[in-house]
Amino acid sequence: MADQTVAALLAEVKRLADAVERLAGPAPAVNDWQAADCFVWAPHRLHLQPVKRPNRVELGLIRGVDHVRDILHENTLRFAEGFPANNVLLWGARGMGKSSLVKAVHADIVKTNGISLKLVEVHREDISTLPALLDIIKDAPHRIVVFCDDLSFDHDDTAYKSLKAALDGGVEGRPDNVLFYATSNRRHLLPRHMMENEQSTAINPSEAVEEKVSLSDRFGLWLGFHKCSQEDYLTMIDGYAAHFELPLPREQLHHEALEWATTRGGRSGRVAWQYIQDLAGRLRISTDRP
């Protein structure tokens, strides 16, 4: 009888211990900086998930944005070498290679210069966890670009305050080994109607707008991406076709590419890549990215 009582008590203790463990959540994961050059931030586990095969294209294949490409490359290289550099906001027309350029520049600098530079992607919905991320990476033995793709904020969204403090604020400020890059279709990261509503309903309209606009002001570099011309679009097509050795006469290639853009409602780097994917598929040629 005594043995049964002891067994019952042990079972109850184990049940309570399991319940407490579930409430506590998973233990923080061990972050291994040597596992990869690119990582994705997983805040629920305080974990930097290594990305073995990043989704990116070679820098030489990104055409039509030569000026902003050179600025971003120079800024990133300075930072990787330990010199002053600016946070960067890449904004403008969709599909023009903003996020592709960030990943391609990072890969080019690591490969060409042999510099240990890490890229950490933070999803838009995890912006509020930036303080926890910075606490982890501030003591890392590497220089780190924290990257947020398609960044924007909607009405009553207060996550932008965490980003403002991380960019250039707070008592600690931004760690010396961290730089922020973000892409957005909006220069001020907010839809125009929201800014106008803030302005029309506030007691002091200018102060309401300044609170929101001051976020984008904390990016030292604004790199604008605009819709590409037909010439730039066809240059992109030619670059991809040459790289993947697609055996199609140039006149036919351009005709099909322009027809494809018409069906898509516009020209952009993304549309060019989608056409190349379609063409390569028809020709049974692989376009696996490095």
| CA–CA gap between residue 45 and residue 54 (Å, rounded) | 21
What secondary structure, in 3-state letters, does 21-66 show?
A: HHHHCCCCCCCCHHHCCEEEEEHHHCEEEEECCCCCCCHHHCCCCH
pLDDT computed for residue 172 by the predictor: 65
**CA 290 – CA 275 distance, rounded (Å):** 19
Task: Return the amino acid letter for 75.
Answer: N
Residue 275 CB contacts under 8 Å (≥ 6 apart), including other chains: 237, 256, 257, 260, 261
Q: Given a cut of 80, is residue 286 above it in pLDDT? A: yes
Q: Looking up tokens 């890059």, which residue turns up?
A: 181
Sheet with 178-184, strands from edge to edge, namely 47-51, 38-42, 117-121, 143-148, 178-184, 88-92, 221-225
Q: Whole-prediction pTM value?
A: 0.79
Q: What is the pLDDT of residue 158?
A: 63
Q: Where do runs of H (alpha helix) occur along the chain?
A: 2-24, 66-80, 98-113, 130-137, 160-168, 192-201, 205-217, 230-243, 250-264, 269-283
Percent of the chain residues past pLDDT 70, beyond the cut? 76
Which pLDDT score is estimated for 196? 46
Cβ of 45: how many Cβ atoms within 10 Å?
Answer: 14
Q: What's the mean pLDDT when you consider all of the chain?
A: 82
pLDDT score recorded for residue 199: 47
Using one digit for the tens of pLDDT, what is the confidence trace for 108-127?
999 988 888 999 999 988 88
Confidence band (pLDDT; 50, 70, 90) for 14?
Answer: confident
* pLDDT tops 90 at residue 165: no
- Quote the CA–CA distance of 122 and 39 in Å, as a whole number: 9
Dihedral angle computed from the Cα positions of residues 188, 191, 197 and 202, in that order, rounded to the nearest 10 degrees = -30
d(CA 69, CA 128): 29
pLDDT at 63 over 50: yes
